[in-house]
Structure 1
Amino acid sequence: MKILGYRDADYDSFVKRLNRRALPTHDVRDLVSEIIAAVARQGDKALVAYAKRFDNVLLKEKQLFLTPDELAAVKVAPSTRKAIAASLKNITAFAKKGLRKDWSMRNTEGAIVGERFQPFDRVGVYVPGGKAPLVSTALMTAGFARAAGVPEILAATPCGPDGTVNPELLYALKAAGVTEILKIGGAQAIAAMALGTKTVRPVDRIFGPGNRFVVEAKRQLFGAVSIDLLPGPSEILIISDKTGNPDYIAADLLAQAEHGGDSVIGFITDSKALIGKVVKAIERQLETLSRARYIREVLKQATFMMQVRSMAEAVAISNDFAAEHVSFICAEEKKWLPQIRTAGAIYLGNDSPVAVGDFLAGPSHTLPTGGSGRSFSGLRADQFQRRTSIVKLDKRSVRKSLGVVEEFARIEGLDAHGRSTAIRCE
């Protein structure tokens, strides 16, 4: 772990490096560009080749999708069904509150203007595979799509070397309303959903988190398809004054480090004593965890703890860092909370574990990472809706609009625009 305080010589330079921009490295960008080009040229053949290369699985083109019989045969424990149902209940209720509703009004000239919101016809959701079956991610992407009324939901998730997908994940996808499951992961899955192949029909919009290759594929394919946001490897930034419980803080840091890979873990406080207590709590708790090997690597490579001068400085650093999850523990919560602007999600107080938000609370845990929280919000239900503006005029409102339209037409040299309005007033 990197541990430093504001009196340390390298403190200011370290703080400056925390101001991130979500930009790819050259090697990631080039490899993803190669993959997209291959999928565009070779379609299903490229998907099969990349499945072998990256996931060590031998698939035939006719095996790219999970069959209805395979899905029907999925069985999970009653406790799993109960947990998935509880999570979906909260997700659905939260999502429906966030859906936009049609509206209309009359403008100054009397024209009727408004907006209509309809679900996308077909969306793709990406669910990472790898070290753990992210059942909750399936619910917090596809579950929002179902709540918005999307009729076709294509899920892409990598299968294992034996060509199968985790049964709990399959059950969650089915419960969340997914209509097709593509057994392919990585940048190649994003390319297939965006561009289409012989067997994969393209989607209108792509949702879901992934590793840096998935995020870069979404970035490069923006425009070919609509993209939700750029959610990459997991991040947490805990901000606490002396009122923070060191055992709870350590547990939350370890929970996010459990994702392994490119996870980023940070802790900022104005209390030097609290840092020492948290470090001891991490060492004590780590010994009891089954994924300690992955966690140790993240603690070594991507974890920092900082003592800052004040809570004002902590909040400023947080806004520059733009973390996916911010856990905020402060006696003056009401004073400082409004000033935290760039977090993907904020968890307040000692008794708000990020894990409850990851699995159950209701808001989607698909959130901006890598500093992209400055520009993107977390996944929302209204992102599954297509917005269309509506304009309706009558003779009276056309006449009242004519003068302004003709003036704009004159300024911009577009006389046909002016004429198209004037002809209705003759």
Structure 2
Amino acid sequence: MIQIKQVTPGLSIKRSVDAGTEEQQRIVRDIIQDVRENGDRALLAYTEKFDGAKLYSLKVTQDEINDAYAELDDEIIKIIREAAENIAAFHAKQKRETWLYTNEDGSILGQKMTPLDSVGVYVPGGTAAYPSSVLMNVMPAKTAGVERIVMVSPPSADGRLPAGVLVAADIAGVKDIFKVGGAQAVAALAYGTESIQAVDKITGPGNIFVALAKREVFGDVDIDMIAGPSEIAVLADDTASAKEVAADMLSQAEHDTRASAVLVTTSEALAKEVADQIEQQLAALPRQDIARPSIEEHGAIYLASTLKEAIETINAIAPEHLEIMTENALELTKDIKHAGAIFVGRYSSEPVGDYFAGPNHVLPTNGTARFSSPLNVDDFMKKSSIIMYSKKAFDKHGAKIAAFARLEGLEAHARAIEARNQ
């Protein structure tokens, strides 16, 4: 059963950070090296070894995409399309344009915004199907203006990708889809093979081997983050429904045995009711074999003496997902400093953000919301500074710049400035 605890000063939350074993790290390095040396041959061999699929071609064909549409109900296709539109509309508001300004002395300064040339999107596959992961990674890249988006996903033993994943990718406008997963897929995206052209950035979640591979190739390419298990924290008072709070906590607990579901409340009565509700709902949950270890090992209910103490506790946790189910919930958002996404009010259940509302569901985990943000359009763009100094500005400030250069012992820097005065 989930534990009820009193909030204490300096509260420390148990994190589930998996850096991998030395053996896993060695396996990943060996796979990456093999893919770099043997290209598609290595990818095909690993796909047969790890996924049980004997393939002769890695790229998804148009016939496979057509079959995926035929397999899905028309209403589901319509829902995926509407979700993609919502996600695109939200991210369109994030896009920043190149800007310039002119100083009084005639100098022009600014910032040039340029989309990345290419991005690789990793989508978990096999027995799982995550069309939402496709949309959340692809739509901000498309909004940014990335020209080439490559998607990789591990196939099932029959050599197919889930229909929902293929339909979501097609709706999102992905042209290059490959049936390969694991560390080998990350290596292919980072360094290229005969079939897969290397990209500039890799995004998307995966298992420990995918995470370790992303860490290994970082620097040769960019990555989004090293994602940890899913997290939810609920900030609630006695106006909240225990049944709804428990259901929302379990919505994350069913992801992973290492997922974290936490309630912080000022109401002892609510705390006890939520604990009871979690037990009742767990008994009828299809994935209780995953959710129960999550709740018992990484879940908790914290009782705070005041709302201020409860908010301080939330900020200490820095959760991936935060639900606020209190009176004046929207007003409390101003006091939240650390959270990946904030769900306000009774009808903003966390799955609303997972699938449909529009904001990105790729969020910082393991307390990294203290310093990082959800996946967004900026993640798929570069910023270049623009400097066009006028003669008037140069004449006014040149001597100062040369003096600064000499302070750092860089005489050639100073002379580069002074050469223009001769």
Is the TM value for this pair above 0.5? yes
Residue in 2 that maps onto 1:47 = 43
Displacement of 1:131 in angstroms is 4.5
Aligned counterparts of 1:263 and 1:165: Cα–Cα separation in 2: 26
* Residues 82-124 of structure 1: CA deviation (Å, up to 9, x unaligned): 1012111111111110011111113475321101112111111
Report the CA distance between 1:222 and its aligned residue. 1.8
Structure 2 contact 268–303 (Cα < 8 Å) conserved: yes
Question: Aligned equivalents of 2:197 and 2:154: distance in 1?
Answer: 18
The CA deviation at 1:181 is 1.0
Evaluate the alpha carbon distance shift between residue 34 and residue 315 of structure 1 in structure 2; reply closer, same or farther with a 3 A threshold.
farther
Tell me: CA distance 1:380–1:355, structure 2 relative to 1, closer, same or farther (3 Å): same
Number of corresponding residues: 419
1:243-286 deviations in Å (ceiling 9; x for gaps) = 22111111111222232353222222232221221233233334
Question: What code does the residue aligned with 1:6 have?
Answer: Q
Closer/same/farther in 2, CA of residues 418 and 12 from structure 1, 3 Å limit: closer
The CA deviation at 1:130 is 4.6
CA apart distance, 1:303:
2.6
Compared with structure 1, are the counterparts of its residues 151 and 261 closer, same or farther at alpha carbon in structure 2 (3 Å cutoff)? farther
Residue of structure 2 equivalent to 1:377:
373
The answer on 1:259 being equivalent to 2:255 is yes
CA contact (8 A) 1:239 1:327 kept: yes
- The Cα RMSD (Å) is 2.5
Change (3 A) 1:49 1:307: farther
Residue 338 of structure 2 is aligned with which of 321, 342, 363? 342
The residue correspondences of 1:204-223 to structure 2 (distance < 5 A) are: 204-223=200-219
Q: 1:156 aligns with which of 149, 152, 155?
A: 152
Which of 44, 62, 78 is matched with 1:68 structurally? 62
Paired letter, 2:64: E
Quote how far apart the aligned CAs of 1:23 are. 6.0
Paired with 1:84 and 1:114, the residues of 2 have a C-alpha distance of 39
Q: Secondary structure at the match of 2:12?
A: helix
State yes or no: 1:24 paired with 2:19. Answer: yes
CA contact (8 A) 2:235 2:322 kept: yes
Check the 8 A contact 2:126/2:161 in 1, yes or no. no
Q: 1:242 to 1:226 in 2, by over 3 A?
A: same
State the match for 2:4 in structure 1: 4
Report SS of the residue matched to 1:138: helix
Give, in whole Å, the separation in 1 of the partners of 2:52 and 2:284: 32
Task: Say whether the 8 Å CA contact 1:118–1:387 is kept in structure 2.
Answer: yes
Q: Which residue does 2:121 correspond to in 1?
A: 125
3-state DSSP of counterpart to 1:98 = coil
| SS of residue in 1 equivalent to 2:177 | strand
Conserved 8 A contact 1:57-1:161: yes
Q: Partners of 2:104 and 2:183 in 1: how far apart?
A: 49
* Alpha carbons of structure 1 residues 56 and 300: separation in structure 2 relative to 1, 3 Å: farther
Q: Is the 8 A contact 2:125 2:162 kept in 1?
A: no
CA contact under 8 A between 1:237 and 1:326: conserved in structure 2? yes
Q: Which runs of 5+ in 1 are unaligned?
A: none
Query: Are the equivalent residues in 2 in contact too, given 1:57–1:162 (CA < 8 A)?
Result: yes
Matches within 5 A, 1:272-421: 272-331=268-327, 333=329, 336-421=332-417
CA shift, 1:359, in A, is 0.6
Deviation at 1:288, TM superposition (A): 4.5
For residue 152 of structure 1, report the CA deviation from its aligned partner: 0.7
Separation (CA, whole Å) in 2 of partners of 1:408 and 1:22: 45
Does residue 172 in structure 1 map to residue 168 in structure 2?
A: yes
Give the letter for the 2:113 counterpart.
Answer: F
CA distance in 1, matches of 2:186, 2:135: 19
Aligned pair 1:105/2:91, yes or no? no
With normalisation by structure 1, the TM-score equals 0.90
- Contact 1:6 1:12 (C-alpha < 8 Å) held by counterparts: no
Deviations 1:379-408 (A, max 9, x none): 011211121111113333322231122112
| Structure 1 residues 25 and 310: alpha-carbon distance in aligned structure 2, compared to 1, 3 A threshold | farther
Calculate the TM-score normalised by the size of structure 2: 0.90
Q: Which moved more, 1:166-175 or 1:259-268?
A: 259-268
CA distance in 1, matches of 2:391, 2:381: 33
Report the alpha carbon displacement of residue 142 of structure 1 after superposing the two structures with TM. Answer: 0.6
Runs of 5+ unmatched residues, structure 2: none
Residue aligned with 1:58, SS: coil
Q: Which amino acid in structure 1 is aligned with residue 38 of structure 2?
A: Q
Question: Percent of aligned pairs with the same residue?
Answer: 38
